[in-house]
Chains A and B, each alone.
Chain A
Amino acid sequence: MADIALRTVTKHFRSVTAIDGLTLDIADGELTVLVGPTGAGKTTALRIVAGLEKPDQGEVWIDGHNAADLEPAARDVTFVFQQYSLYPHLSVFDNLAFPLRSPARRVSEPEIRKRVEEVASLLRIAHKLANKSTQLSGGEMQRVAIGRALVRKPSVYLMDEPLSSLDAKLRGDLRVELKRIQQDLGATILYVTHDQIEAMTMANRIGVIDKGRLIQVGSPRQIYEDPVTLYVAQRFGQPQINVLPAGLLPNGALPVGAVTVGARTEHLDLRKDGGGEAVVEWVEHLGDQNHLHVRLGAHRITTLTPPDTPFKSGDRVAVGLTKPLYFDAQGLRVRSA
């Protein structure tokens, strides 16, 4: 196992700045999740750690060594690619055995068989080992791709949206499974996802990047409760944080520079009030909970309510705020004095 340190890493592709001065520490045995919009540079960041791209500036340290001159093979990392990682000309078994058969390792065939079968049953693809890798469903392919990373015991795992093409149930199962494996192995993982639930549940730390820059890094709780920008606030939380003009709802003195206010369920106080200025538009039943859609003048507020909610559509309600999040015109957080 190893720790990773990125030091002001910058990478350009012709005119595009894919990574812009990225500094990030990933502690030994920690699972760090990178989230960010498409094109943010998440894949590029992983590729730089793997040694597939050379940074234009900055340094990558793996396990206390400057990795600048290390070939990908010498970095003892493994990479689950966003797409295309299975060899179509090989069977599932041979795909899983491929990393173990590399000239850099000397693993005996019986040992290979043992490791491959272990991983295959862990990922529930043991019955597909003899298949051609082209004869798998998308979800099975992705599990084989994850399996290829797991058969080796590298010091760093790099995973680029490894669960993205799985159905919700399998994704949930594997999420738990991967997290358990990570804890058992004490593995250092740098993990990219678009899925906020994956990020919130799996991560020791979350790094949010946008346009190649690290916007915020912290524990899932910090990121959720104390976002530094509106973008980060909007990225996490279901339903999405409500963004309203600051001062629309009375909440004492506004912090200096506050232009918008972000209000999640926990920041909102809804009371039935015949004279209230807001109207419940509809109640969306999700089973274990409900989304309440409320119209307030030209604005719409969405919030969570328990399934036995007293609200129904047409109700007039009064809306209050408790300790909401304020943002300035640039979307940066402003805090009350």
Chain B
Amino acid sequence: MSQALTTAHSVVAPSPLSKRIAGAIVILYALVSMIPLAWILMTGFKTPPDSIAYPPKIVFAPSLEGYCNLFTTRTRQTQEYIQSLGPPQTICDEITRKRDMVIAGPSNYVPRFWNSLVIAFGSTFFAVSLGVLSAYAFSRFRIPLADDLLFFILSTRMMPPIAVAIPIYLMYRKLGLSDTALGMILLYTAVNVSLAVWLLKGFIDEIPREYEEAAMIDGYTRLHAFFKVVLPQAATGIAATAIFCLIFAWNEYAFAVLLTSGEAQTAPPFIPTIIGEGGMDWPAVGAGTTLFLVPLLVFTVLLRKHLLRGITFGAVRK
């Protein structure tokens, strides 16, 4: 019976052995690709000397110095001055004083991180919103030159975005958009919207139009039907698209370096500029990178139910 079924679909159930081999390969791959992540995580908890020790230390006494340094700026002081201060208020006070320094103030990490959040989530929101609306239009209405327009939209993604960096840099300076969150949101939205339109059109094409038609016959307007019927059905596609857009905007480095330097600087260009005494402050960089991974991780985990189905581009939808 099951034999007949599997042959009918020309799919052979994997044998236990091949399953185990496949599992081993996946685990091995996962381990290898997690080494850099583990390294970053560890570096964040090392002391500066441990972080540059050679041979590298796998076992070390964990310290919060990296995290303290990430969030603060410090100045060197004389022993007498430090002793004249009261007892340390926080664990970071204590760690800093051991290095003959005192905390001078907060670092720029939090504002830079905040910029990243605003710009990445903002541009994702706009790219997905615009994407879902135009994908719906392309999917449902007869639009003159629809195919050419779709190809044009796709073609904006055909060259690496950085190829237009210089014109954009000049344009943004003229328009006063350099180093503004608005400018970065517009830019990332523009880059992502083509991806969003194409991904979402595939998903919306698969939603039978009878769903909206039934709603429209029942007295809903098209817009109502869009929100009540199409959006919930496209949730999978929207989630998958949002994750792709967010990953791009969150990690984007080249434009961020070029177009942001102060007010609107995002975390990716900021993190590598964390300098400690005598060079890069690797534990602080490790700490900053670790924290930088958290929002993407949370977002992806929250949407993973949709992502798993979405990433197959509707191929296994019921």
In the complex, are the beta carbons of A99 and B219 less than 8 A apart?
yes
Taking CB atoms, residues of chain B closer than 8 Å to A83 are 208, 210
Taking CB atoms, residues of chain A closer than 8 Å to B210 are 81, 83-85
In the complex, are the beta carbons of A73 and B218 less than 8 A apart?
yes
- B interface SS class: helix
B224 proximal to A (CB < 8 A): yes
In the complex, are the beta carbons of B211 and A99 less than 8 A apart?
no
Taking CB atoms, residues of chain A closer than 8 Å to B220 are 73, 102-104
Q: How far is the CA of A181 from the CA of B208 in the complex (A)?
A: 29
Q: Which of B208, B217, B221 touches A79 (beta carbons < 8 Å)?
A: B217
A32 proximal to B (CB < 8 A): no
Taking CB atoms, residues of chain A closer than 8 Å to B235 are 89
A134 proximal to B (CB < 8 A): yes
B229 proximal to A (CB < 8 A): yes
Scoring A residues 55 to 74 as 1 if CB is less than 8 Å from chain B, else 0, what string do you get? 00000000000000001110
Chain B residues with a Cβ closer than 8 Å to the other chain, count: 18
CB nearest to B218 among chain A residues: A99
- Contact residues of A between 156 and 176, Cβ < 8 Å to B: none
- Contact residues of B between 278 and 307, Cβ < 8 Å to A: none
Taking CB atoms, residues of chain A closer than 8 Å to B217 are 50-52, 72-73, 75, 77-79
A105 proximal to B (CB < 8 A): yes
CB nearest to A78 among chain B residues: B217
Name the distance in Å between A47's Cβ and chain B's nearest Cβ: 8
CB nearest to A152 among chain B residues: B218
Name the distance in Å between A156's Cβ and chain B's nearest Cβ: 10
Taking CB atoms, residues of chain B closer than 8 Å to A104 are 218-220
Q: How far is the CA of A77 from the CA of B208 in the complex (A)?
A: 20
Name the distance in Å between A307's Cβ and chain B's nearest Cβ: 38
CB nearest to A88 among chain B residues: B233
Q: Which of A73, A81, A105 touches B216 (beta carbons < 8 Å)?
A: A73
CB nearest to B208 among chain A residues: A84
Number of interchain pairs (Cβ within 8 Å): 64
In the complex, are the beta carbons of B218 and A98 less than 8 A apart?
yes
Scoring A residues 160 to 199 as 1 if CB is less than 8 Å from chain B, else 0, what string do you get? 0000000000000000000000000000000000000000
In the complex, are the beta carbons of B219 and A102 less than 8 A apart?
yes
In the complex, are the beta carbons of A87 and B229 less than 8 A apart?
yes
Scoring A residues 77 to 114 as 1 if CB is less than 8 Å from chain B, else 0, what string do you get? 11101011101110000000011001111000000000
Name the distance in Å between B140's Cβ and chain A's nearest Cβ: 12
Q: How far is the CA of A99 from the CA of B232 in the complex (A)?
A: 17
Name the distance in Å between B36's Cβ and chain A's nearest Cβ: 40
Q: How far is the CA of A73 from the CA of B221 in the complex (A)?
A: 8
In the complex, are the beta carbons of B224 and A79 less than 8 A apart?
no
Q: How far is the CA of A88 from the CA of B214 in the complex (A)?
A: 14
Taking CB atoms, residues of chain A closer than 8 Å to B215 are 98, 102
Scoring A residues 282 to 310 as 1 if CB is less than 8 Å from chain B, else 0, what string do you get? 00000000000000000000000000000
Q: How far is the CA of A70 from the CA of B79 in the complex (A)?
A: 87
Q: How far is the CA of A329 from the CA of B208 in the complex (A)?
A: 43
- Contact residues of A between 6 and 53, Cβ < 8 Å to B: 50-52
Q: How far is the CA of A98 from the CA of B220 in the complex (A)?
A: 10
Q: How far is the CA of A48 from the CA of B233 in the complex (A)?
A: 26
In the complex, are the beta carbons of A89 and B208 less than 8 A apart?
no
Q: How far is the CA of A51 from the CA of B210 in the complex (A)?
A: 13
Scoring B residues 9 to 27 as 1 if CB is less than 8 Å from chain A, else 0, what string do you get? 0000000000000000000
Instruction: Identify 19 residue pairs between A and B in the complex whose beta-carbon atoms are under 8 Å apart, listed by A's number.
Output: A50-B213, A51-B217, A71-B216, A72-B216, A73-B219, A75-B217, A77-B217, A79-B217, A81-B210, A81-B214, A83-B208, A83-B210, A85-B211, A87-B211, A87-B233, A89-B232, A102-B215, A102-B218, A102-B219
Extra contacts, 20 of them, besides A89-B235, A102-B220, A148-B218 (Cβ < 8 A), are A51-B217, A52-B213, A52-B216, A71-B216, A72-B216, A73-B220, A75-B217, A78-B217, A78-B218, A81-B210, A81-B213, A84-B211, A85-B211, A87-B211, A87-B229, A102-B215, A102-B218, A104-B219, A104-B220, A148-B214
Report A's interface with B, CB cutoff 8 A: 50-52, 71-73, 75, 77-79, 81, 83-85, 87-89, 98-99, 102-105, 134, 148, 152
